[in-house]
Amino acid sequence: MKTYSRALTIAGSDPSGGAGMQADIKTFSALGVYGTTAIVAIVDENTKGVYGVHPVPENFVAGQIRSVISDIGTDAVKIGMLHSPQLIRTVLATLREFPDVRDIVLDPVMVATSGDPLLQPDAVTTLRDELMPYCRVITPNLPEASLLLGETIDRQDQLEDAARQLSGLYPEAKVSVMLKAGHLSDNMLTDIFYNAETGRTSRLSSERVDTVNTHGTGCTLSSAIAAYLAKGAGLDDAVRLAKQYIDGAITAGAEYKIGGGHGPVYHFYKLWQ
């Protein structure tokens, strides 16, 4: 019998379909990966903002993770919004029950595209000091990198050092860093990927697209990296291909209008006409 490449997303929901678990599932599907989910929170949001977060009990989150991995298994894991220290520790403890699952991609979601906070302040330290060292790749944007490092990162010439500094927080763990440049105002945006396993840095450039449809870009990029890792790509290739995918999804999505705020990217631009 044939088998699927599989990826599990551990994330909150987005009823508007552009971010969170819904974006992850769309990305997995678009890239030919069987997606499974462990929902950590039900979020009341749309393209204009976040209006409420209803947490799922930690033991129920752990149960979802165990149920999926013990039965279906997974080749990679993408982790998104984890709003509290207790939830972060629960997810980490549960993943440790499955030591063969090591392709873990963490998008350290702290603020929504709309500017609304999604992470409790006391959870930042727990995320940085406990969960991040267990991940293979983290994908912070500039505000998240600034918060994690305790300094302002807002210029292109800072990104390479910042990516190395973030990885350097975990010298034994070899955590690679995809530092996203989307918050810069430059016309040419250059993300920095530091591969902690090889010590090499890659510069991944793309032209800025004039669009408000950027809801869920971080979710989509991180889940694309997880999807390519699930399919067996090497780390550098997974990041490069994921960058190409999100660039294409942003460009194609700029032609559409959904909602009155930040619309979604076009996850299925390669498949739908």
Spans of all domains in the chain? 6-253
User: Rounded CA gap, 24 and 29, in Å?
Assistant: 9
Is pLDDT above 80 for 185?
A: no
User: Rounded CA gap, 102 and 230, in Å?
Assistant: 11
**What's this model's pTM, rounded to 2 decimal places?**
0.95
User: Rounded CA gap, 255 and 253, in Å?
Assistant: 5
* pLDDT (average), residues 162-168: 95
- Residue 185 neighbours by CB distance under 10 Å: 7
Question: Could you tell me the two tokens for 123?
Answer: 């959870």
Is pLDDT above 90 for 26?
A: yes
User: Rounded CA gap, 146 and 165, in Å?
Assistant: 11
User: Rounded CA gap, 241 and 239, in Å?
Assistant: 6
SS3 label, residue 205: strand
Residues designated as active site:
180, 214, 216-219
Q: At 102, is the pLDDT very low, low, confident or very high (cuts 50, 70, 90)?
A: very high
Please state which CATH class domain 6-253 belongs to: alpha beta
Is pLDDT above 70 for 117?
A: no
Residues 97, 11, 230, 136, CA torsion sign: negative
Q: Are 209 and 56 in contact (CB under 8 A)?
A: no
Residues 50, 54, 60, 62, CA torsion sign: positive
Q: Which residues contact 161 (CB under 8 A, 6 or more apart)?
A: none
User: Rounded CA gap, 39 and 232, in Å?
Assistant: 25
